[in-house]
Amino acid sequence: MTDRDGAGASLGPAARAAIELLAPFVSGDALICDPVELATYECDGLTQFKARPAFAVLAGSSEDVQRVVGACARLKLPFVARGSGTGLSGGSVPNAEGALLVTSRMRTVLEVRAQDQRATLEPGVTNLEVSQAALPYGLFYAPDPSSQQVCSVGGNVAENSGGAHCLKYGFTTNHVMGLEVVTPDGEVVELGGPTGEVPGYDLVGAFVGSEGTLGVATKVTVRLLRLPEAVQTLLAAFADIDSAGKAVSAIIAAGLIPAAIEMMDALAISAAEKAVRCEYPEGAGAVLIVELDGPASEVAEGLADAERQCLDNGAFEIRIAADDAERARIWRGRKSAFAAMGRLSPAYIVQDGVVPRSDLSEVLHEIARLSDEAGIRVANVFHAGDGNLHPLVLYDDGVDGEEERAEELSTEILDLCISHGGSITGEHGVGLDKLAAMTKMFGEDDLETMLMLRRAFDPQGICNPGKAVPTPRLCGEPPRPRQGAHPLQQQGVAELF
């Protein structure tokens, strides 16, 4: 259970028993019980939902994770895993009666196998650190969320994170080969493998994007890619969103597959200018960032084509980065866009939905109309190439009723995405924020099938409960018959204590 005040809960008997069980094995500051210290962990990047856990453990190893999960399984105590806490859907908000398992101290890159183009790492390694470890071998890790300097790979696995370059390279699920996982009964299992070719069901595919509801990843083996021979980045400025949207469609229709096509509207540009002085063209109602990579001759040809498509669709200024420094300056405004909103508004909701590319202009017009009707500003920053929108709903939480209006507008934007055949999330996950929207997108049988998979991994319902998939209690549906679960297997847990 969560609450908006983050008051937490007094220690229950199961939590007390877990602390007593774990204390001899968890060193000093790694076991946190002080309510003041626990306040640090009461929410993720979405601050609308808060709760303090009964206690937290800062795990330093796979064995620490197994001990915590094993203790929780024995005592039927809820637990939530947390990486860097940069999530934007409330997915790692603690359970006020249970344990919080923090993996941010597990930051070792265990192995880089350059010839196999693979790396194995602990879940607390940051996204950017993977590419830094691979760089001496001429390799890189493709998924690149805007928070890549701080977000952890474990969190990326939980949320199936993407990033600006997902148009060409896909999401986390396309790059995870194998996982070491502690299941909700405390057992350590291997899913997949370094080759990515394993017979049977795709359990790696099921686990990636499961939002921490099927267990805790303690090791991750990822695919690395060769650094491209050439990279070219183009910034195109347009008078309005419509023109920029037409340019996106034209680029894709021309057969180009850029590594990234990002769009920002005038309000997002204004925030970025105030925050990082990105110096985008004055008077732009929208900008596109188009990046191409690959063989030099192919990139040069594609760049010329992309520039032509932008000019043909109304771009009034084109800038092409001459070197890495100029490329970084172009990307600086986009990468800082979410944080930059603090320059325009004391509070905001980062939404995440997907629509078909061909519907981008219509959907953005509808968002503007809804924004005007609500009297709430919306800035748009998004992955235009695959229609993944990130509307930033700006409000003042010091004004009575404004937060509620912002939340209503945020819900209407998700409804709009669904009505256009899109999705309620592209990469931020469902967490707590979008539970109600799941019942709009999926039928009862769909949701029950998801719960059946979840119960197969977690029959006690203790692993990140109340997240990702709505339960009958949350969405008002009548309970459905459940198949009996196999007894928990405690073998392998007892000897840890």
pLDDT above 70 coverage of the chain, percent: 93
Per-residue confidence (pLDDT) for residue 28, from 0 to 100: 83
Q: Residue 124 and residue 477: Cα distance in Å, rounded?
A: 37
- Which CATH number applies to 113-128+138-226? 3.30.465.10
pLDDT in tens, 20-42: 999 999 978 999 999 999 999 99
The token pair that represents 451 in the structure block? 């719960």
For the chain, report the end-to-end CA distance as a whole number of angstroms. Answer: 29
pLDDT in tens, 190-246: 999 888 788 899 999 999 999 999 999 999 999 999 999 999 999 999 999 999 999
Q: Residue 290 and residue 383: Cα distance in Å, rounded?
A: 10
Listed in sequence order, the residues at least 6 apart from 73 whose beta carbon sits closer than 8 Å to its beta carbon are 184, 185, 186, 460, 462, 488, 490, 493
The token pair that represents 149 in the structure block? 């300097």
- pLDDT confidence band for 60 (50 / 70 / 90): very high
Do 348 and 341 form a contact (C-beta atoms < 8 A)? yes
Per-residue confidence (pLDDT) for residue 14, from 0 to 100: 97
Question: On the CB side of 2, how many CA atoms lie within 13 Å of its CA?
Answer: 25
Which H/E stretch holds residue 57? strand 55-58
Continuous H helices in 341-443: 360-374, 402-419, 435-441
How distant, in Å, are the alpha carbons of 5, 210, 213, 449, 478 from that of 483? 37, 21, 19, 12, 16
- Whether the per-residue pLDDT at 2 is higher than 80: the answer is no
Do 381 and 392 form a contact (C-beta atoms < 8 A)? yes
Top CATH class of 345-433 equals alpha beta
- Per domain, the residue ranges of the chain are 113-128+138-226, 230-339, 345-433
How distant, in Å, are the alpha carbons of 162, 187, 293, 335, 367 from that of 62? 26, 11, 38, 33, 45
Chain CA centroid to CA 237, Å: 28
Instruction: Residue 337: name the closest of 407, 243, 263 by CA.
Output: 263
From the number of C-beta atoms within 10 Å of its C-beta (0-12, 13-18, 19+), residue 295 rates as exposed
Question: On the CB side of 223, how many CA atoms lie within 13 Å of its CA?
Answer: 18
Q: Do domains 230-339 and 345-433 have the same CATH topology?
A: yes
pLDDT in tens, 353-408: 999 988 998 999 999 999 999 999 999 999 999 999 999 999 999 999 999 999 99
Q: Residue 175 and residue 42: Cα distance in Å, rounded?
A: 31
Lowest mean per-residue pLDDT among 53-62, 136-145, 187-196, 367-376: 187-196
Pick the CATH number of 230-339 from 3.40.190.10, 3.40.50.360, 2.40.10.340, 3.30.70.2190: 3.30.70.2190
Q: Residue 158 and residue 156: Cα distance in Å, rounded?
A: 5
Phi first, then psi, for residue 388 (nearest 5°) are -90, 105
- Whether the per-residue pLDDT at 484 is higher than 50: the answer is no
Helix 402-419 × helix 360-374 angle, to 10°: 160
- Whether the per-residue pLDDT at 114 is higher than 80: the answer is yes
Which residue has 């991750």 as its token pair? Answer: 220
- Whether the per-residue pLDDT at 474 is higher than 90: the answer is no
Instruction: Residue 38: name the closest of 25, 23, 57, 24 by CA.
Output: 57
Chain CA centroid to CA 303, Å: 30
Q: What is the DSSP letter of 3?
A: B
- pLDDT confidence band for 57 (50 / 70 / 90): very high
Question: On the CB side of 163, how many CA atoms lie within 13 Å of its CA?
Answer: 26
Per-residue confidence (pLDDT) for residue 493, from 0 to 100: 57
Quote the pTM value.
0.91
The amino acid at 66: Q
Q: What is the mean pLDDT of the chain?
A: 92
Q: Tell me the residue length of the chain.
A: 497
- Whether the per-residue pLDDT at 11 is higher than 50: the answer is yes
Phi first, then psi, for residue 234 (nearest 5°) are -120, 135
The token pair that represents 376 in the structure block? 């709430």
Which H/E stretch holds residue 318? strand 317-320
Per-residue confidence (pLDDT) for residue 471, from 0 to 100: 79
pLDDT above 90 coverage of the chain, percent: 89
- pLDDT confidence band for 472 (50 / 70 / 90): low
